Structure 1
Amino acid sequence: MSIDVEWARGELSHFLELTELYRPPDPAGMVVFSTRKSNRGNPADIIASAHAVEQILDRVLPAWRGNQRINRWYQHREAVQRADAALQRDAEIRERLGGTAPRLSAASLHSWVWSAARALWQDGHFREAVTAAARKVNRETQNKAGRRDVTETALFQSIFSKDARKPGQPRLRLMIDDGSDTFRSVQRGAAAFAEGCYAGIRNPNSHEDGLPELPQHEALEQLVAFSVLARWVDTAARAT
């Protein structure tokens, strides 16, 4: 679902108003020599506003979180100003620069993938985020199949096997087993795709020390691969 730009910008604007820094007036009859400033809004209102704002920022600027500086809300205000500009001018900029290709948000990936990757992703640990997503997909697949004796490639080869189920070896079907070439192709492709995800993405990310951080766009592509696999498993039916 696309973001409601008008609502989002309103929330961002309200947050900026609440967190604006100002010097409170001196008490009556007193002169206070201080450079200390306060936020205009009360803490409860700011926290309530931040609840929505942080989710907007996660959608618009997924890597906005960093080290806190100066005021508690400084990082938020800086990100809010950037996000508001992005919401306001994104369509114009893409049109002017010729960038009209579809855009993918990490938050739109399958919930198994994004829930596992989100915290690491927001801290800029993209390679670890992909690994966490791969582990989550594996665990959820084990849960659905009721298997703990096999994992990753062996697990997917078993559950997507074209063979009939055996005791202790359930099968997941991506379509009705009608004996067709299409059925055999789909099951074989799912098993091969899963092997590629774990052998080609998960294993190198997990086992190679000293690898440089993945570029964000490459990490997103890898998350997409695990999202495809997660959706297949999630929607597959257990063979009877």
Structure 2
Amino acid sequence: MSIDIPWVRDQLAEFLSLTELYRPADPPGVTMVGFTHRMNRGSDEAIIASAHVVEQILDRVLPQWRTEVPADRNKSVNRWCQHREAAQRADAALVCDAEVRQHLGDDAPQVSAGAMHSWAWEGARALWSSGHFREAVTAAARKVNAETQNKVGRRNLSEVKLFQQIFSVEPPKPGQPRLRLMDDDGSETYRSVHRGAMAFAEGCYAGIRNPNSHEDGQPELPEHEALEQLAAFSVLARWVEKAELATA
């Protein structure tokens, strides 16, 4: 699902309006001299409610905003300074990015982590937001594995062996259910679909998850490369979720 840009921009504008600082009027008959305290225009309750929505927007539009936007700049003046700057950046990105890509000759479709399958993105979200991309992909792999175990009711197998069994074209046996991506019509397509799913899952865990987990001292993954890896687990998660459970 694509971002509803008008709605998102309205939410950002509302937050920026609520957190704007202003100097309260002097009490009647009193003229304040020198420094006077400035206040946010909105109430604490309204700002907190708005921030709850805005943080989710920022996680989608600027996933690394918590680390890239300075957190201590003018915080003594306004506790929402980091959120305000991130909201302003996000608004600019929403307005300008499509136009910039078009003029620079790079208007290809963009992949959004937030639009990926929830098993992949929810597993990765917290680590992704802090820039730990390699660990985020590993966390997504664990989440997809765990949800697959839950669906088929098997905790005694995991990762490659789990997917080899559940996508096998052999009939289900007691205690060994299968996942079916299409009805068994005896065709080569039926066999190739499940053989492909099995091989794809093996590639995800043997080629992505294991190297990310077991090689210490590796440099951090570039974000675009991690996004590609995360997308692989999103594809696998969708196949597992939509598959029919076949039991003996």
Residue 61 in 1 paired to residue 62 in 2?
yes
Residue equivalent to 1:5: 5
How do residues 30-45 of structure 1 correspond to structure 2 at under 5 angstroms?
A: 31=32, 33-34=34-35, 36-45=37-46
Q: Which amino acid aligns with 2:71?
A: Q
Would you say the 8 A contact 2:117–2:234 is kept in 1?
yes
Q: Of residues 153, 156, 163 in structure 2, which corresponds to 1:146?
A: 153
Shift of 1:125: 1.0
For the 8 Å contact 1:106–1:220, the answer to whether it is kept is: yes
**Alignment partner of 1:50 is 2:57:** no
- Does the 8 Å contact 1:18/1:41 carry over to 2? yes
| Deviation (angstroms), 1:106 | 0.5
The 5 A counterparts of 1:14-93 are: 14-28=14-28, 29=30, 31=32, 33-34=34-35, 36-66=37-67, 68-69=71-72, 70=75, 71-93=78-100
In structure 2, the residue corresponding to 1:168 is in which secondary structure?
coil
Contact 1:126 1:216 in 2 (8 A): yes
Q: Which amino acid aligns with 1:187?
A: H
> Within 2, Cα distance between the matches of 1:63 and 1:78?
13
**In structure 1, what is the Cα distance between the partners aligned to 2:181 and 2:214?**
31
Deviations 1:15-65 (A, max 9, x none): 112112234445453646446533222211111211222222222212212
After the TM superposition, which of the residue ranges 130-139 and 44-53 deviates more from structure 2? 44-53
Within 2, Cα distance between the matches of 1:4 and 1:141? 31
Question: In structure 2, what is the equivalent of residue 213 of structure 1?
Answer: 220
Q: Say whether the 8 Å CA contact 1:145–1:170 is kept in structure 2.
A: yes
**1:113 CA displacement:** 0.8
Equivalent-residue separation in structure 1 for 2:32 and 2:54 (angstroms): 37
Partner secondary structure for residue 172 of structure 1: strand
Identity rate, percent: 70
Opposite residue 181 of structure 2, the aligned amino acid is L
TM-score using structure 2 length: 0.91
Match of 2:181 in 1: 174
Rounded to whole Å, the distance in 2 between the matches of 1:145 and 1:26 is 68
Residue by residue over 1:76-101, the C-alpha shift from the partner in whole angstroms, topping out at 9 and shown as x without a partner, is 11111111111222222121111121
Structure 1 counterpart of 2:162: 155
Q: For 2:182, what is the secondary structure of its paired residue? A: coil
Q: CA RMSD in A?
A: 1.7
In 2, the alpha carbon distance for the partners of 1:238 and 1:17 equals 51
How many aligned positions are there? Answer: 240
What amino acid is the match of 1:143? N
